[in-house]
């Protein structure tokens, strides 16, 4: 319990989260807050899950003994999750949660809501009204989580004869064998259809009487109480732990994605800046100085983005390390760079116009590579890995399509210079 609470708190308070991630995951974080208060109050949530019109809302009403959730013969009656406190003597702190059906046509959003609710429930009632279909089997598998009880409820049992019901329960048990224990498969009649009885009076006249059978959820109720009494509060802690695990996975994936996108934008801005600086600046020495300063600036920026800030001189050294490896591995391209730089200074005029674009594109490519390599270094926690910088530079050189970067460079620079 304390463990689950701690891991949730840690997720909420993590100062390492980059900007944008907390916003993107705001709903998850709000959920963590709710989960924490639920844990603190010792609340247990029981959610229904199942296809439309199988009688999920009716089942909860029958457990509650009152019509708290709306029901209807029409598909898709329940449009959003809703909760009700289960106020029976033994039910202190148990909340019943209704959800929309999961196979409503055009109801994908509602289906997602239902799944989200079920994901956070401490106990799930998976409701069916007949044999399991393929879609139900898949949903059922999704809803199964280690350590969390799931009851398979065959509702509308009144529609079957005793023999049919027994057969159906056996078939369900066989289908879910190994996934759901036999005692967790129960039959119920949440809202039995009225029956017409023929009554014979003493004088021999007959009359019909409509009779509405009482709901029958006794088997379900008993099973629920047994589980709640045996596992009680540990259930809530298990759910919180599972949820914390899933959220930290999501947070992790989101952090990587947000960083990757931001890094991509950043590298591109620096590529353009450097390409333009090199293309328009007529003094080659200043070109090279400006270029180096820009590359160091990019690396500095990336280091902050990855939460591993460098000083400016460390960033400069990192650029030197990467540039050295690149020069060793692809001397010719760099040679072109220097040759065209020299050409530009020497002849001016026409040849500047001719070569400036190409030179700018090569500079763009250089910065692109430096950005990529530095990104890898930061993503690996400021480490080159076993092969050192050479292996990283080589791998990235091989994985990046040089021509498409050069084309991108020409387009970006042309677009920029036109303005
Ligand atoms: N015969 C019979 N009908 C039932 C039973 N339980 C529910 N129904 C009927 O089935 C229909 C659907 O019931 P709901 O409780 O609204 O079903 P739901 O699963 O909540 O449906 P959605 O909210 O639309 O997904 C209603 O007409 C109920 O009267 C039952 O045990 N036996
Ligand atoms: Mg409903």
Confidence of residue 244 (pLDDT cuts 50, 70, 90): confident
Q: pLDDT tens digits, residue range 157-179?
A: 999 999 999 999 999 999 999 99
Reported as a single tens digit per residue, the pLDDT across 28-67 is: 777 777 777 777 777 889 999 999 999 999 999 999 999 9
pLDDT band at 372 (very low <50, low <70, confident <90, very high): very high
User: Residue 199 — very low, low, confident or very high, per pLDDT cuts 50/70/90?
Assistant: confident
pLDDT band at 416 (very low <50, low <70, confident <90, very high): confident
At residue 292, the pLDDT reads: 79
* Cα distance between residue 235 and residue 42, in whole Å: 10
Closest Cα to atom 29, ligand 1: which residue? 191
Domain map of the chain by residue range? 42-216, 261-418
Mean pLDDT (whole number) for 216-238? 88
250 exposure class (CB count in 10 Å sphere: 0-12, 13-18, 19+): middle
Enter the tokens of residue 233. Answer: 């509060």
**CB burial readout 315-328, b (16+ within 10 A) else e:** bbebbebbbebbee
Mean pLDDT of 372-387: 94
Q: What is the mean pLDDT of the chain?
A: 84
Q: What local confidence, expressed as pLDDT, does residue 336 receive? A: 56
Dist CA 139 CA 152 (whole Å): 12
The response to whether residue 99 sits with its C-beta less than 6 Å from ligand 1 reads: no
Q: How far is the CA of 401 from the centre of ligand 1 (A)?
A: 59
CA distance 105 to 87: 34
The number of the ligand 1 atom at minimal distance from the alpha carbon of 52 is: 25
Measuring from atom 7 of ligand 1, which residue has the nearest CA? 55
With the most atoms of ligand 1 within 8 angstroms of its CB, the residue from 56, 58, 64, 72 to mutate is: 58
In the predicted model, is pLDDT for residue 230 greater than 90? no
Closest CA to 42 of 11, 4, 83: 4
Average pLDDT over residues 310-319: 93
User: 143 alpha carbon to ligand 2 midpoint, in Å?
Assistant: 18
pLDDT tens column, 75-134: 889 998 999 988 765 555 899 999 999 987 777 888 888 888 888 899 999 999 999 999
Of 60, 63, 190, 215, the one to substitute when testing ligand 1's pocket (max ligand atoms within 8 A of C-beta) is 190
Query: Is residue 55 in contact with ligand 1, taking CB distance under 6 Å?
Result: yes
The percentage of the chain sitting over the pLDDT mark of 70, rounded to a whole number, equals 86
Q: What is the band of 273 on the pLDDT scale with cuts at 50, 70, 90?
A: confident
Query: What is the percent of the chain with per-residue pLDDT over 90, rounded to a whole number?
Result: 42
**DSSP character at residue 160:** S
What pLDDT is stored for residue 348 in this prediction? 47
Contact 191 CB / ligand 1 (< 6 Å): yes
Whether residue 359 has pLDDT greater than 80: no
Q: Is the CB of 19 under 6 A from ligand 1?
A: no
Eight-state DSSP code of residue 215: P
Higher pLDDT, 336 or 308: 308
Q: Which of the listed CATH numbers 3.65.10.10, 1.20.58.340, 3.40.50.300, 3.10.310.40 matches domain 42-216?
A: 3.40.50.300
- Does the beta carbon of 54 sit less than 6 angstroms from any atom of ligand 1? yes
């Amino acid at each position: 319990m304390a463990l689950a609470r701690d891991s949730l708190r840690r997720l909420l308070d993590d100062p390492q989260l980059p900007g944008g991630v907390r916003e993107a995951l705001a709903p998850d974080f709000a959920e963590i807050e709710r989960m924490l208060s639920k844990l603190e109050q010792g609340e247990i949530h029981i959610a229904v899950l199942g296809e439309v019109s199988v009688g999920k809302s009716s089942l909860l009403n029958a457990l509650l003994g009152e019509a708290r959730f709306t029901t209807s013969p029409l598909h898709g009656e329940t449009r959003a999750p809703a909760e009700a406190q289960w106020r029976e003597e033994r039910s202190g702190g148990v909340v019943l949660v209704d959800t929309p059906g999961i196979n409503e046509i055009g109801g994908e959003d509602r289906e997602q809501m239902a799944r989200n609710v079920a994901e956070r429930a401490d106990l799930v009632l998976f409701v069916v009204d007949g044999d399991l279909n393929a879609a139900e089997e898949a949903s059922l598998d999704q809803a199964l989580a280690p350590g969390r009880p799931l009851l398979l409820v065959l509702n509308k049992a009144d529609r079957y004869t005793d023999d049919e019901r027994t057969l159906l329960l056996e078939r369900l048990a066989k289908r879910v064998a190994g996934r759901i224990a036999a005692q967790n498969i129960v039959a119920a009649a949440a809202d039995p259809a009225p029956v017409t009885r023929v009554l014979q009076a003493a004088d021999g006249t007959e009359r019909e009487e409509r009779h509405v059978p009482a709901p029958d959820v006794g088997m379900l109720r008993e099973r629920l109480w047994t589980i709640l009494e045996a596992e009680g509060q540990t259930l809530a802690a298990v759910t919180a732990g599972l949820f914390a695990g899933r959220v930290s996975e999501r947070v992790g994936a989101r952090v990587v994605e947000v960083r990757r996108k931001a890094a991509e934008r950043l590298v591109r801005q620096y590529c353009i800046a450097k390409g333009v600086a090199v293309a328009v600046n007529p003094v080659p020495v200043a070109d090279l100085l400006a270029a180096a300063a820009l590359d160091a600036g990019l690396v500095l920026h990336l280091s902050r983005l990855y939460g591993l800030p460098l000083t400016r001189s460390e960033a400069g050294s990192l650029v030197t390390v990467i540039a050295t490896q690149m020069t060793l591995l692809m001397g010719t391209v760099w040679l072109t760079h220097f040759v065209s730089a020299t050409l530009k200074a020497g002849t001016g005029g026409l040849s500047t116009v001719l070569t400036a674009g190409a030179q700018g594109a090569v500079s763009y490519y250089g910065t692109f590579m430096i950005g990529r390599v530095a990104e890898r270094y930061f993503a690996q926690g400021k480490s080159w890995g076993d092969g050192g910088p050479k292996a990283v530079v080589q791998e990235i050189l091989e994985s990046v399509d040089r021509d498409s970067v050069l084309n991108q460079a020409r387009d970006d620079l042309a677009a920029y210079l036109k303005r």
